[in-house]
Amino acid sequence: MTDLNLTGNQQPTNTDENMGKVFPASNEKQDTVLFTDDDIFIKKIFETDSRKAFELLFKKYYSVLCNHAVRFVFSKQKAEDLVADIFVLFWNSKLYLNVKGSYRSYFFIAVRNKCYTYLKWELKKELADELNDTQIQSFHPTPEEILQASDLHIKIEHTMKSLPFRQQQVFVMSRFDGKKNKEIAKTLKLSLKTVEMHISKTLATFRKILKEESDL
Amino acid sequence: MTELNKNILFQYFSGEASPLQKKLIQEWLQDDTSQELFYKWLEEWEKEHLQFIPDVDMASEKIMNRLDKLSTESNSSAYIFSLKKRPSGIRKTWWVAASVVFLLGLSLYIFHNNFNYIQYQTAYGEVKELTLADGSHVVLNANSSLLVPRWGFNEGDRKVELTGEADFKVKHTKSNQKFMVITNGQLNVEVLGTEFSVYSRNNTNKVELKKGSVKVLFKQEVYKPFIMKPGDVVNVDIAGKLLVLHQQPANNFIIWKDHRFVFDSATLGDAFNYIQEFFGDKIIIGDDRLKERRITGSIKADSTEEALSILKEMYNMEMVEKGDSLILKEKNKTFNK
């Protein structure tokens, strides 16, 4: 296997082994782009011990994927569940045999797709079955679609920030932390009705904004 | 160009890019290489803007279990043992002298239908370590389940529900919150901060106190309250009979720790039951007398096969496989002197 680590200032040549690499213009040390060193390493392990390879992948990407997911689904628990489901599907359908490009891009795309579908369901309350059967194919989102997904979480963040303080606080405790309304009411010394109102108001705001933003 | 884009992308992810910059990004994304770079920088940006830190180790164990469950049907020899070694080193003493009270009749707690609780489950042959929201430490032994409040403990009592076997090191909280281990059996344990083991399976209920001083109350009112000292073992058997053993050394009856089974004057029958529960293989002793023989000692074993091969030798038994059970009987006494 060729050494894909580039250091220093190298001029691109036209040999086969340099195909697909990115050559920086600057002097700085650059990582390879299409594949990380870890990718090569893990791919090799899949050939002999797929379970171990899977575990490595999981431990490597779980946290960052959950953090990305929570930007779409608000709830920490839900984010973790969604990411776990993706990994399970990845394993069950032996999708690791079909990964083109890096594992990183694969999982990020899968997570964004899944979150998008989940949000759709959350806001429209479409059938849960649809959600479970979502197959993450080896798809290739267009530049528009990539930006669309990012724009979504950016919009969500922006909307959150523009909420009145109390509303934001209640909503975060409810969705992010997963606290029950009663708990929130007790902790913040509000009435249950007030808590419920804050939440439904926030949901309504999000429904409106997200409808405008995309086809949700 | 590359350097410029990273900063622009970071700005974009943070919601600060202008429409023109977005257009630039979109054009740049036409290229596969750029798309890979996009996700690389997205990962970097996420790591710099973490919103929460999930428990990766726990999630990893959970998912590996899920995978195992999804694969082949159960066959005792196909069990994948994931045995976790307890961290070596001095056991911290979180004990605070406190009285411990067993509660009466709490076994009807409706934990099961409440999704506010997370269930930790160990498979056969698996041992799991958990740290609870209050800092208490639990080692969940094989084939056991522990229900823990999903969002941590609030004010008021800290309750968990156990089926099976676990070691607890309960941390004392400033507000003196009681820690309660609820089981389905005859005993519940209420502590403020101490170290103890609870065993609750199939009508066998035991509590072993390692550190602390406890006051015991039983579900059956006929038993008066009792004060346990470290080294005491309280046992309520199938018939509801109470047995209190005094001054037992810390490693009493049968336990499995650090890849070893430790038996202290336990009957072979009990030993095999324990091994069976632990690894999930079916063991039958074909000889009642054999069941009553006592054994003391420790054997290193990470599987039923290992445990049995040692015990076989020690007690001059032979093993026969019948279906998915293992049957043990005494060898013919041709070699005895």
pLDDT at A134 (0 to 100)? 39
pLDDT at B265 (0 to 100)? 66
pLDDT in tens, B58-79: 999 999 988 887 764 322 222 2
pLDDT at B203 (0 to 100)? 65
Tally Cβ neighbours within 10 Å of residue B265. Answer: 12
Is residue B33 within 8 angstroms of chain A, CB to CB? yes
User: Which among B13, B38, B52 is the nearest to A146, CB-wise?
Assistant: B38
pLDDT, averaged across chain B: 71
Coil vs helix vs strand at B56: helix
**What is chain B's Cα-based Rg?**
26
pLDDT at B121 (0 to 100)? 83
pLDDT in tens, B228-276: 777 777 777 666 666 666 655 544 456 665 667 767 667 777 778 777 7
Question: Which residue, chain included where needed, has tokens 């074909």?
Answer: B286
Mutation target among B10, B151, B153, B155 for the A interface, most CBs of A within 10 A: B151
CB B37 within 8 A of CB A22: yes
pLDDT, averaged across chain A: 76
pLDDT in tens, B154-184: 777 788 888 888 888 887 777 777 777 877 6
ipTM: 0.77
Whether residue A66 and residue B62 make contact (CB cut-off 8 A), yes or no, is: no
Whether residue A101 and residue B36 make contact (CB cut-off 8 A), yes or no, is: yes
Side chain identity, residue B120: Y
Distance to chain A for B86, nearest Cα, Å: 21
For residue B38, the chain A residues in CB contact (below 8 A) are 105, 146
pLDDT at A83 (0 to 100)? 95
For residue B62, the chain A residues in CB contact (below 8 A) are 84
Please name the residues between 84 and 143 in chain B that touch chain A, using a CB distance below 8 Å: 116
CB pairs under 8 A between A and B: 115
Whether residue A146 and residue B154 make contact (CB cut-off 8 A), yes or no, is: no
pLDDT in tens, A66-89: 999 999 998 999 999 999 999 988
pLDDT over 80 at A188, yes or no: yes
Is residue A22 within 8 angstroms of chain B, CB to CB? yes
pLDDT in tens, A116-155: 878 877 766 543 443 343 333 336 788 888 998 898 899 9
A76-104: burial string, b at 16+ Cβ within 10 Å, e else: bbbbbbbbbbbbebbbeeebbeebebbbb
Long-range contacts of A11-20 (CB under 8 A, 24+ apart): A20/B33
User: Which among B35, B40, B59 is the nearest to A84, CB-wise?
Assistant: B59
pLDDT in tens, B8-56: 999 999 999 999 999 999 999 988 888 989 999 999 999 999 999 999 9
Which residues neighbour B42 within 8 Å (Cβ) at sequence distance 6 or greater? A68, A108, B9, B13
Whether residue B12 and residue A154 make contact (CB cut-off 8 A), yes or no, is: yes
Q: Residue B280: left if φ>0, alpha if ψ -120 to 50, beta else—which one?
A: left
For residue A24, the chain B residues in CB contact (below 8 A) are 2
For residue B9, the chain A residues in CB contact (below 8 A) are none
Whether residue A143 and residue B154 make contact (CB cut-off 8 A), yes or no, is: no
Which residue on chain B is closest to A85 by alpha carbon? B63
Distance to chain A for B178, nearest Cα, Å: 20
User: Which among A30, A59, A67 is the nearest to B60, CB-wise?
Assistant: A59
Please name the residues between 149 and 188 in chain A that touch chain B, using a CB distance below 8 Å: 150, 154, 157-158, 176-180, 183
User: Which among A88, A109, A176 is the nearest to B63, CB-wise?
Assistant: A88
Mutation target among B10, B12, B60, B81 for the A interface, most CBs of A within 10 A: B60
Whether residue A178 and residue B151 make contact (CB cut-off 8 A), yes or no, is: yes
pLDDT at B62 (0 to 100)? 92
Mutation target among A34, A96, A106, A144 for the B interface, most CBs of B within 10 A: A34
Tell me how far the alpha carbon of residue B105 is from its chain's centroid.
24
pLDDT over 70 at B219, yes or no: no
With residues binned 3-state (H G I as helix, E B as strand, rest as coil), the percentages for chain A, rounded to 5, are: 70, 0, 30
Which residues neighbour B213 within 8 Å (Cβ) at sequence distance 6 or greater? B97, B98, B99, B100, B227, B228, B229, B230
pLDDT at B235 (0 to 100)? 75
Distance to chain A for B68, nearest Cα, Å: 10
For residue B149, the chain A residues in CB contact (below 8 A) are none
Distance to chain A for B40, nearest Cα, Å: 7
pLDDT over 50 at A31, yes or no: no
B147, B173, B176: which is closest to B162 by C-alpha? B147
pLDDT over 50 at B143, yes or no: yes
Mutation target among A146, A152, A172 for the B interface, most CBs of B within 10 A: A146
For residue B40, the chain A residues in CB contact (below 8 A) are 31, 33, 36, 102, 104
Task: Name the DSSP letter for residue B230.
Answer: T
CB B215 within 8 A of CB B99: yes
pLDDT in tens, A5-22: 333 333 344 334 433 333
Distance to chain B for A95, nearest Cα, Å: 14
Token pair in block for residue B215 = 């006051």
Over residues A26-31, the mean pLDDT reads 35
